[in-house]
Amino acid sequence: MAVAEIVDDRAALVAALEALDTRLRWLSAWTIHNANHLRDSRDGLKVGGHQASCASMTAIMAALYFHVLRPQDRVAVKPHAGPVLHAIHYLLGQQSVEQLQAFRGFGGAQSYPSRTKDRIPVDFSTGSVGLGVAVTAFAALMQDYLIAHGQLAEAEAGRMIALMGDAELDEGNIYECLIEGYKHDLRNCWWIVDYNRQSLDSTTADRMFRRFDDIFETCGWRVLTLRHGKKLQAAFRKPGGQALQDWIENCPNADYAVLTYQGGSAWRARLLADLAGDAAACALIEAHDDEALAALMTNLGGHCIETLLDAFETAAADDRPTVFIAYTIKGMGLPFAGHKDNHAGLMNPSQIAGLRERLGIAEGEEWDPWAGLGDNVAAELKALVSRSALAARGPEPEAARVAVPAIPVPTGAEQATQAGFGRILLDLAKSGAPLADRIVTTSPDVTVSTNLGGFVNARGLFRRQELKDVFAGAKIPSPQKWAGHAAGQHVELGIAENNLFLVLGAAGLTGPLFGTRLLPIGTVYDPFISRGLDALNYACYQDARFLLVATPSGLTLGPEGGAHQSINTPLIGMGQPGLTAFEPAFVDELAAMMGWAFAHMQAEDGGSVYLRLTTRAIPQPTRADDSWREGALKGGYWLRAPAADTRLALVFSGAVAPEVMAAAEALAEDVPGLGVLNVTSADLLHRGWSAARAGRWRGGQSVPSHVETLLGALPASAGLATVLDGSPSALSWLGGVRGQRVSPLGIDRFGQTGDLPDLYREYRLDSDAIIEAAADLLA
């Protein structure tokens, strides 16, 4: 058969894709089997790999990757179908056998698709269920943003596609995303549900049938339900077929799974018993032997290539968001298909051998991508694979860097870093600098209260359709003059922090995904970072680049009470890989950090940045020169240099600077040469210290870290009184650098309402508490 016939002839195309479906099922199952049964195990731990979850997806992925996808389309693959993605790239010649053999091993193919750790092209990392689904919707929104701003041609728009397990529909972030997508008129987004009706612990509740349809339809999505394959549809048209269809559609999910596992004889017994009064239906059942009957009853839409192609072609006719509910069998084609425990199940050696023999694969040829097919069929499949869009797609584009101008420092004797942030952004918006055109801001309904309002006034809300400011039109005075239009640069979100971090993640990937770099800035109340922590981690894991501004922080938002006062966020900033955390005390530090952040977000070895800011206005220092700047960007500097023989240093971060300086003045006579260390980034100091120690352990060059250099200005016997408006653990570790005694102050219990004098006294952040902490060290 000629290559052209494979592509042009529908029956031949279906046959070829069915063969690729079988090939993907084998390669994914063998990869997992090798990792669990053949590869040496040094620790005795189960490797795992989800053979059943892969098997339910192979037909969907064969049709999608080898016929439907275009070069500009992007896909987030169901985490447990990661081995199928590796098998696809193996057939494409883009994955090595060594990587498959090292699946879930050190340096091998990753357990779940990873942009940063896998060697194959991965559009979106997945792993934390539900987040890889939702990010595709926000990637589609960012694609529309680029199109509206003339940075991407409409003709180059791709579909953002998520392959998801039906258990992921239990994740709340899915529905938060649906609501936000509806607000923003989402388009060019497909979600394909592997509706195998089994999760790790249970079978999907039957009463959820039609509920998912209702939810998606309400949010403006087209719902295409792929319940029955072509063989079943043909059977339904025969005498007795309507009764068979009614039986199937009323059969409980758990019963269907049991019968699938038991096989043809069990199907026959149950169907003949339940349909005993319908002679035509019983005759239809008896017209099939056990093997054929089992094949018929498991011919669901998600395993039928023809049904899948019909559905994909229907949706491809326009850009409407579409969810495909593809009914499948978990473990399809494997010995434990339908078994309730198959989620983590593994085929044993005899079962995998039986599968290999059924496929005609000779022992020793298991890794041959086309083994058991014959030369002609193999050549035809190779040709089809080579003609797929994925084979033609080049490497991810390199987005040009955007020049970072000098960031001017707002003036004022007393300033809060939150207000300074808003002023800096407004000045940038008015500057005409190219950098300002690449900034996109977003916030979960706290735009005004985090000082983004000025930027939005200057640059507008992003809307694909114009949204007039009705209050301005009615000449009602308001400081917020927000009109929505295609040129707007602020993405307005509802109160859902998961959505915030997913938008930041999607916007922070526009460079590699679309070839145009955006510099996303998201603001949130500092305590509510925790609400979206999984999504924040997910965004950082795939190396999305963004600036997170969290404000107000700590007890400084006194009248709001404990629910709005953050405690552990400095520790989150220190512990989150891919995110560099700063807590500036002064506005000139903030300006320097924002300039650093814009460059770091674009650097090859860069990442995202977190600024913990405050609404508390404090006196700004008078600087003799810029000598502080380098230290501030490395994590800390001496605001008051210590004497070589001093017995004490006060160490602080952020808004407590006035209390620290007041305590320093009170202690000056008793502690000559007392030093005051301003820690601008406990994260950078700790990271640098850890790296230096690791370098010494590995026998590398011994270069002192910045924190070692800073504390080296003190005698080893000097004590450290540390204080910040947050968890004391964020600074108390400093005593471990040189073995110095530490008296730590900070917040380790829930706050309450009050003004700052009362709160700082109650929670031991005032100057009296700092003096007492110093006295403990001196005693």
Task: Give tens-digit pLDDT for 221-261.
Answer: 999 999 999 999 999 999 999 999 999 999 988 899 999 99
Which residues are CB-contacts of 568 (< 8 A; sequence separation ≥ 6)? Answer: 530, 726, 727
Outline where 237-300 has alpha helix (H): 241-250, 253-262, 264-274, 279-286, 290-297
Mean pLDDT to the nearest integer, 80-91: 97
Q: Evaluate whether 156 touches 188 at the Cβ level (below 8 Å).
A: no
Phi then psi dihedrals of residue 195, to 5 deg: -90, 70
Percent of the chain with pLDDT over 90: 85
Mean pLDDT to the nearest integer, 20-47: 94
Is this structure's pTM higher than 0.85? Answer: yes
| Confidence (pLDDT) at 467 | 79
HEC string of 658-680 equals HHHHHHHHHHCCCCCCCEEEEEC
* Pairwise CA distance, residues 27 & 36, whole Å: 14
Cis peptide before 552 (omega within 30 of 0): yes
Burial of 334 (0-12, 13-18, 19+ CB in 10 A): buried
Strand partners, 522: 442, 548
For 484-517, the pLDDT digits (tens) are 899 999 999 999 999 999 999 999 999 999 999 9
SS3 label, residue 182 = helix
Distance of CA 401 to the CA centre of its chain: 23
* Pairwise CA distance, residues 398 & 132, whole Å: 23
* Pairwise CA distance, residues 631 & 637, whole Å: 5
Q: Categorize the per-residue pLDDT at 562 as very low, low, confident or very high, splitting at 50, 70 and 90.
A: confident
With a cut of 80, say whether residue 619 has pLDDT above it: yes
Phi then psi dihedrals of residue 254, to 5 deg: -65, -40
| Confidence (pLDDT) at 283 | 96
Token pair for 212: 């998912």
| Confidence (pLDDT) at 345 | 87
For 568-592, the pLDDT digits (tens) are 999 999 999 999 999 999 999 999 9
| Confidence (pLDDT) at 212 | 84
Token pair for 334: 């494997």
For 728-739, the pLDDT digits (tens) are 999 999 999 999
In angstroms, what CA-CA distances link 473 with 94, 426, 478, 481?
57, 23, 11, 10
Asked which of 121-125, 250-254, 764-768 is least confident by mean pLDDT, the reply is: 250-254
For 300-352, the pLDDT digits (tens) are 999 999 999 999 999 999 999 999 999 999 999 999 998 888 888 899 999 99
Q: How far apart are the first and last CA of the chain?
A: 92
| Confidence (pLDDT) at 475 | 76
| Confidence (pLDDT) at 471 | 73
Strand partners, 775: none
Question: What pairing do the DSSP bridges indicate for beta strands 608-612 and 461-462?
Answer: unpaired
Percent of the chain with pLDDT over 70: 97
In angstroms, what CA-CA distances link 593 with 403, 415, 619?
16, 16, 19
Mean pLDDT to the nearest integer, 58-71: 97
Q: Categorize the per-residue pLDDT at 129 as very low, low, confident or very high, splitting at 50, 70 and 90.
A: confident
Token pair for 540: 């950082």
Mean pLDDT to the nearest integer, 439-444: 97
Strand partners, 325: 193, 225
Which residues are CB-contacts of 45 (< 8 A; sequence separation ≥ 6)? Answer: none
DSSP element (H, E) containing 35? none
Q: Evaluate whether 612 touches 553 at the Cβ level (below 8 Å).
A: yes
Token pair for 397: 């584009």
| Confidence (pLDDT) at 202 | 60
Token pair for 48: 């795992």
| Confidence (pLDDT) at 734 | 98
* Pairwise CA distance, residues 717 & 13, whole Å: 78
197: nearest Cα among 49, 325, 347, 54: 325
| Confidence (pLDDT) at 208 | 64
For 193-217, the pLDDT digits (tens) are 999 887 655 666 666 666 888 999 9
| Confidence (pLDDT) at 201 | 57
| Confidence (pLDDT) at 428 | 96
Distance of CA 623 to the CA centre of its chain: 42
Mean pLDDT to the nearest integer, 367-372: 95
366 vs 169 pLDDT, higher one = 366
Token pair for 518: 């955006």
Which residues are CB-contacts of 273 (< 8 A; sequence separation ≥ 6)? Answer: none
Half-sphere exposure of 729 (CA within 13 A, CB side): 12
* Pairwise CA distance, residues 307 & 72, whole Å: 24
Asked which of 453-457, 463-467, 492-496, 579-583 is least confident by mean pLDDT, the reply is: 463-467
Mean pLDDT to the nearest integer, 663-689: 96
Sheet order of strands, 322-327 included: 74-76, 160-165, 189-195, 322-327, 222-226
Pick left, alpha or beta for residue 99 (phi over 0 → left; psi -120 to 50 → alpha; otherwise beta): alpha
Mean pLDDT to the nearest integer, 703-723: 96
The DSSP annotation for 429-443 comes to: HHH--HHHHHEEEEE
* Pairwise CA distance, residues 113 & 621, whole Å: 49
Q: Evaluate whether 482 touches 469 at the Cβ level (below 8 Å).
A: yes
658: nearest Cα among 590, 592, 756: 756
With a cut of 70, say whether residue 401 has pLDDT above it: yes
| Confidence (pLDDT) at 667 | 96
- Average pLDDT of the chain to the nearest whole number: 93
With a cut of 50, say whether residue 6 has pLDDT above it: no
* Pairwise CA distance, residues 326 & 61, whole Å: 12
Phi then psi dihedrals of residue 755, to 5 deg: -90, 170
Could you give the angle at which helices 533-541 and 497-507 cross, rounded to 10 degrees?
A: 10
* Pairwise CA distance, residues 566 & 550, whole Å: 10
Token pair for 581: 């955390």
SS3 label, residue 326 = strand
| Confidence (pLDDT) at 563 | 84
| Confidence (pLDDT) at 473 | 77
583: nearest Cα among 658, 526, 665: 526
Q: Categorize the per-residue pLDDT at 688 as very low, low, confident or very high, splitting at 50, 70 and 90.
A: very high
Q: Evaluate whether 441 touches 508 at the Cβ level (below 8 Å).
A: no
Sheet order of strands, 439-444 included: 484-485, 461-462, 490-493, 439-444, 519-524, 547-550, 608-612, 579-582
* Pairwise CA distance, residues 443 & 461, whole Å: 12
Q: Evaluate whether 492 touches 499 at the Cβ level (below 8 Å).
A: no
**Angle at the Cα of 441 (from 437 to 447), degrees rounded to 5?**
135
Q: Evaluate whether 391 touches 7 at the Cβ level (below 8 Å).
A: no
CA dihedral 713, 594, 125, 91 (to 10 degrees): -100
With a cut of 60, say whether residue 4 has pLDDT above it: no
Helices (H) and strands (E) in the chain, counts: 36, 20
Outline where 92-205 has alpha helix (H): 97-101, 131-148, 172-183
Phi then psi dihedrals of residue 220, to 5 deg: 90, 10
Burial of 458 (0-12, 13-18, 19+ CB in 10 A): middle
* Pairwise CA distance, residues 498 & 218, whole Å: 21
With a cut of 80, say whether residue 758 has pLDDT above it: yes
With a cut of 50, say whether residue 2 has pLDDT above it: no
Q: Evaluate whether 646 touches 715 at the Cβ level (below 8 Å).
A: yes
555 vs 697 pLDDT, higher one = 555
Tokens 């494997």: give the residue.
334
Rounded CA Rg of the chain? 31
* Pairwise CA distance, residues 361 & 344, whole Å: 25
